[in-house]
Amino acid sequence: MKNFMTRFVDDRSGATAVEYTLLAVMIALAIIVGLQNFGSALNGEFNAVARDF
């Protein structure tokens, strides 16, 4: 049992999966924020065009 616990504590392969997950979450948040800002700007442009007609 001690050998298993030693190998489990020393195993670093799971750290890579966590890092990739955090990176994917940060990229997804950046995309969401960017699309929200783009959508607001686009909505403003459409409203400006609609007022001119």
Q: What is the pLDDT of residues 12-44, one digit of tens each?
A: 767 788 889 999 999 999 999 999 999 999 999
pLDDT at 1: 77
The distance in angstroms from the start CA to the end CA of the chain is 78
Q: How many CA atoms lie within 13 A of 48 on its CB side?
A: 6
CA distance 26 to 18: 12
pLDDT at 49: 93
pLDDT at 6: 82
pLDDT at 2: 75
10 has a pLDDT exceeding 80: no
Element (H, E) at 8: helix 2-10
Element (H, E) at 18: helix 13-52
